[in-house]
Structure 1
Amino acid sequence: MLQSPSCLPIVDFVKFEDGTSQEAREIGQQLFAACRDIGFAYLINTGIPQELVDGMFDWSAKLFALPIDTKMKAAHPPEGWKDRGYSSIGREQVSQMVFDTEELKAIRSGKFPDFKESFEVGNELSKCMQNIWIQEEDLPGFRAYAVNFYNICHEFQVSKLLPALAIGMDLPQDFFLNYHKDAENKLRLLHYPAAPTSVFESGEKGRVAAHTDFGTATLLFQDDCGGLEVDSPSSPGEFMPVPPVPDTVLFNIGDFLMRWSNDTLKSTLHRVRAPPRKESDNGVTKERFSIPYFISADRDKTIECLPGCFGPDKPKKYESINAGEYMNMRLNAIY
């Protein structure tokens, strides 16, 4: 059995199969417990090959090594909700549940700016938003590889992950699938450039401040740099390191699902910090790559509180909300 390097649970999908066995029910219960108690878990035996993950990191490194003029040919549109294409360093600034225009301006111009660049890929067959690609002659083969990686992540999402969560919550196995038919998800390639260690120590630059994700859930692939930290379930306000583990996928709940579950499931604060100074680094903090796959409900769906998550002793905290309107509100706050 794989040992977790942190206090996060490990959920093994090796015996999930079609979701009808007792083993599948136990897997669903383990996933639900992780979502309820911590909001994060390492997943193993997902069916997403490690060599495919490694290849996606290789392509990510090639993409971000391109000249800025080449990357800007596929620039993210001005509107935050049009979440596709390339965002240069400083284009995005994470904010945590802040929507006031003046407050957002202050965050973007304040201390600890996010020192990163990103590239967003969605469903190639999306009905509502087209992908924005680096030109094929500038990076031959990238588009095909990224689309395949997206589709492999989606296959795990619909064949195992969402059915397991439904089973764990005593819902019909296809419950969440019925709200995620359009595959309106997002694959994000992230690059945190190398920089003098002193600029991170002084606060002149940051990586990503404490925040929660805001969709249904996230699958995260990390390189070997480290730096991800999660709010401790036993000591809120203290962040614990969540190092990368080969052959695992990190999973976490987003705000949308937390709201949908009437706060039964937990969307947990997490952040990315530069690793501590090392003499061998010669005063330079090395670059970091990560690849989150954000799972989102269909934009035309309106959600009510999940069955089993409310009652006389647990009233509903939230009104019904349209998934597309919710996601647009959150995206517009960070771009």
Structure 2
Amino acid sequence: MSELAGANLNQGHTTGNINYRLCDYSPDTAAPDSDNGCGAHTDYGTFSIIFQDGTPGLGIEDAKQPGRWIQVPGDATIILAGWCTVILTGGCIQATRHGVRRTPGVRRLSAVLFVAPDLDIELKPLEGFCLNRAFSDKIMTGGVDVKWFKDVMGKKWRHREGNEEPDKYEAAAQDEIIEKLVWD
């Protein structure tokens, strides 16, 4: 990711803020009338690596044509940039919006490695980047750290995983909350 960004993103990645998740899109637990395995979203961290089991279903939104979705082959391993990369690179690298469509009666597994900056790092553009887009004052002054950002983004998933009841940070509103926080 540093090579793509043209600057060292290793700074702020020293404590191993890495999480691993096995995603089981089981037809037994999915809503019977829905083909949505995991709605369209962007990850919060620096990048995510998705290892698939060969079953198709992962799609990424075309960055040049928002609303156009590209289906990823089921045996492909992909790396996706997240929101922290957007902020750290001054908007030079965009987060990849993605989602999973399930096939009724077909189980799909994927293993995902999430990599993010250290929790105490202030989220603001790193020195050496020309701003590609205007950021909010809160972002420009380092008013948000990675821990806070992770907590807010995590609320999007906790109720889906059975760890927390939904609250004012409903999944549908989460991307809007982040958009308002990040951009001017």
When the two structures are superposed, what TM-score results if normalisation uses the length of structure 1?
Answer: 0.42
Which of the pair is proportionally richer in strand? 2
> Residue type matched to 1:294 in 2?
F
Aligned to 2:96: 268
What runs of 5+ residues in structure 2 fail to find an aligned partner?
159-184
The correspondence of residues 165-180 of structure 1 with structure 2, limited to 5 A, is 165-171=1-7, 175-180=8-13
The residue number in structure 2 matching 1:185 is 18
Residue 309 in 1 paired to residue 145 in 2?
no
SS in 2 for 1:303: coil
CA distance in 2, matches of 1:314, 1:298: 24
For the pair 1:228 / 2:45, whether they are aligned, the reply is: no
Partner of 2:45: 215
Q: Deviations over 1:16-67 (max 9, x none)?
A: xxxxxxxxxxxxxxxxxxxxxxxxxxxxxxxxxxxxxxxxxxxxxxxxxxxx
Q: Give % identity.
A: 20
Mapping for residues 226-265 of structure 1, pairs under 5 Å: 226-245=56-75, 249-265=77-93
Shift of 1:334: 2.7
State the match for 1:41 in structure 2: none
Q: In the TM superposition, what is the alpha-carbon distance from 1:314 to its structure 2 partner?
A: 5.5
- Alignment partner of 1:298 is 2:128: no
The CA distance in 2 between the partners of 1:258 and 1:168, in whole Å, is: 12
**What is the CA distance between 1:303 and its match in structure 2?**
3.4
Instruction: Please give the alpha-carbon distance, in whole angstroms, between the structure 2 residues aligned to 1:197 and 1:183.
Output: 33
Matches within 5 A, 1:130-209: 165-171=1-7, 175-195=8-28, 199=32, 202-203=33-34, 206-209=36-39
Distance 1:193 1:314 in 2: 40
Structure 1 runs (4+) deviating above 4 angstroms are: 195-198, 313-317
Distance between the aligned counterparts of 2:99 and 2:55, measured in 1?
A: 14
Q: CA deviation at 1:197?
A: 9.9
Q: Secondary structure at the match of 1:207?
A: strand
TM-superposed CA distance for 1:309, in Å, is 2.8
RMSD over aligned Cα atoms: 2.6
| Matched residue type, 1:184 | N
Answer yes or no: is 1:326 the counterpart of 2:149.
yes
Cα pair distance change 1:294/1:314, threshold 3 Å: closer
- Which amino acid is the alignment partner of residue 249 of structure 1? T
SS of residue in 1 equivalent to 2:85: helix
8 A contact 1:218–1:295 mirrored in 2: yes
1-side partners of 2:29 and 2:44: how far apart?
A: 32
Q: Aligned partner of 1:303: which letter?
A: L
The CA distance in 1 between the partners of 2:23 and 2:133, in whole Å, is 39
| Mapped contact 2:84–2:123 kept (Cα < 8 A) | no
Task: Return the index of the structure with the highest Cα Rg.
Answer: 1
Cα–Cα, structure 1 residues 196 and 237, in superposed 2: closer, same or farther, change >3 Å? same
Question: Between Structure 1 and Structure 2, how many residues are aligned?
Answer: 154
Q: How does the TM-score come out when normalised to structure 2?
A: 0.72
Q: 1:223 to 1:306 in 2, by over 3 A?
A: same
Q: 1:191 to 1:229 in 2, by over 3 A?
A: same
SS at match of 2:50: strand
Q: Check whether the contact 2:45–2:116 (CA below 8 A) recurs between aligned residues.
A: yes
